[in-house]
């Protein structure tokens, strides 16, 4: 059976190639991919094609640090529907356990191994490919994403003590992205790819830890697996709550997640007396009240998790719906 991953695994690829003034279309075509396939992050694409694309693109663009540059622009949301569960876990240890539990929905080729010895934690990252081949860019992208994930859980000031990379050290200016993102001692030509950090960090409380929201996220993921048992309206409500925190709660994304066309989804909702925009607004209102009740969450975090690109846009919506700005509800 072919190994597949979400198209979100190539999040930031097109932007990086544009910044490097390299046309990605021929490179995508070589691997049977296209811009259109990447447009929907939930599309499933061959894992081997992703690995080969990144290696070929790094050579074609002359950018040794392509994978790491892509990781710089990643958010936890790129992990998909499981991101909400990971974000609200009580500690980094629990977040990593959730990541491993749902890796099949994120990247089935990813294997994480955690080892604790003498006060240090070694978080090893491996890719299990059906056909072994060079995967420098995929490995470095994975390590960069792991660092971003740890910072999302423990705060942006977090950094590992050391990052081990099996690849050779980049020359000259290509080292800058590694230092900029990883912010720690770097060991190239290592025996394995891993993050090394104090074992005590594993049990630190996450900055967005919320047992209630974590339980809610798990129920959403469980319900998503039982979609056939629910009405179209219920399936859309679940999809909206899963997609809102990752900024993709559109009718197009919801339809794609249910394997329907937009027209078919609209017709089924109409038959059940529901309108997508009403369901979206109701979900936002419900989650907004829950999020504002959590003092750990900043207004900026809440705006992002409700799918708004700025605090200003979120505040306008909040005032329109609740009659006052979000900060007023916290007094």
- Span 126-137, pLDDT tens digits: 988 877 889 999
What's the mean pLDDT when you consider all of the chain? 89
Q: Is the pLDDT of residue 81 over 60?
A: yes
Distances (CA, A) of 198 to 60, 118, 161: 38, 9, 7
Tokens of 200: 């005590």
pLDDT recorded at residue 230: 67
Q: Tell me the whole-structure pTM to 2 decimals.
A: 0.73
Q: The CATH number of 4-203 is which of 1.10.3470, 2.60.40, 3.40.50, 3.90.1520?
A: 3.90.1520
pLDDT recorded at residue 1: 42
pLDDT recorded at residue 297: 80
**16-25, 123-132, 137-146, 217-226: lowest mean pLDDT where?**
217-226
Instruction: Tell me the pLDDT tens digit for each residue of 269-298.
Output: 999 999 999 999 988 888 888 788 777 788
pLDDT recorded at residue 150: 97
Give the homologous superfamily in CATH for domain 225-330: Homeodomain-like (1.10.10.60)
Instruction: Tell me the pLDDT tens digit for each residue of 232-247.
Output: 888 888 788 777 776 7
Q: Is the pLDDT of residue 229 over 70?
A: no
Could you tell me which residues come within 8 angstroms of residue 148 by beta carbon, excluding any fewer than 6 positions away? 71, 74, 75, 76, 181
Mean pLDDT of 301-323: 89
Q: Which has the closest alpha carbon to 70: 22, 15, 28, 129?
A: 15
Q: Where are the domains of the chain?
A: 4-203, 225-330
pLDDT confidence bin for 228, thresholds 50/70/90: very low
**78-87, 112-121, 154-163: lowest mean pLDDT where?**
78-87
Report phi then psi at 284, rounded to 5.
Answer: -60, -45
In this structure, the dihedral spanned by the alpha carbons of residues 66, 67, 73 and 76, taken in order and rounded to 10 degrees, is 170
């Amino acid at each position: 059976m072919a190994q597949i991953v979400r198209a979100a695994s190539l999040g930031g690829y097109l932007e990086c190639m544009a910044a490097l003034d390299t046309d990605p279309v021929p490179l995508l075509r070589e691997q049977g991919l296209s811009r259109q396939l990447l447009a929907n992050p939930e599309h499933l694409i061959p894992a081997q094609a992703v690995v080969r694309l990144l290696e070929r693109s790094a050579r074609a663009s002359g950018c040794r640090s392509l994978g790491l540059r892509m990781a710089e622009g990643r958010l936890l949301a790129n992990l998909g529907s499981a991101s909400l569960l990971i974000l609200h876990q009580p500690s980094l240890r629990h977040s990593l356990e959730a990541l491993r539990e749902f890796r099949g929905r994120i990247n089935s080729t990813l294997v994480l191994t955690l080892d604790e010895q003498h006060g240090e934690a070694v978080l090893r990252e491996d890719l299990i490919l059906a056909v072994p081949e060079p995967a420098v860019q995929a490995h470095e992208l994975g390590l960069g994403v792991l660092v971003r994930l740890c910072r999302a859980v423990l705060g942006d000031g977090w950094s590992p003590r050391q990052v081990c990379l099996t690849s050779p050290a980049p020359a000259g200016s290509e080292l800058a992205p590694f230092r900029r993102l990883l912010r720690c001692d770097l060991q190239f030509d290592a025996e394995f790819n891993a993050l090394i950090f104090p074992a005590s960090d594993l049990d630190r409380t996450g900055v967005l830890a919320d047992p209630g929201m974590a339980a809610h996220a798990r129920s959403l993921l469980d319900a998503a697996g039982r979609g056939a048992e629910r009405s179209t309206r219920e399936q859309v409500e679940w999809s909206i709550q899963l997609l809102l925190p990752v900024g993709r709660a559109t009718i197009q994304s919801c339809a794609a997640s249910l394997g329907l066309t937009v027209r078919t989804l609209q017709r089924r909702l109409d038959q059940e007396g529901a309108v997508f925009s009403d369901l979206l607004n109701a979900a936002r209102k419900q989650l907004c009240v829950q999020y504002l009740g959590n003092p750990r969450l900043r207004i900026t975090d809440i705006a992002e998790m409700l799918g708004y690109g700025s605090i200003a846009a979120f505040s306008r919506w909040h005032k329109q719906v609740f009659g006052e700005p979000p900060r007023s509800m916290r007094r």
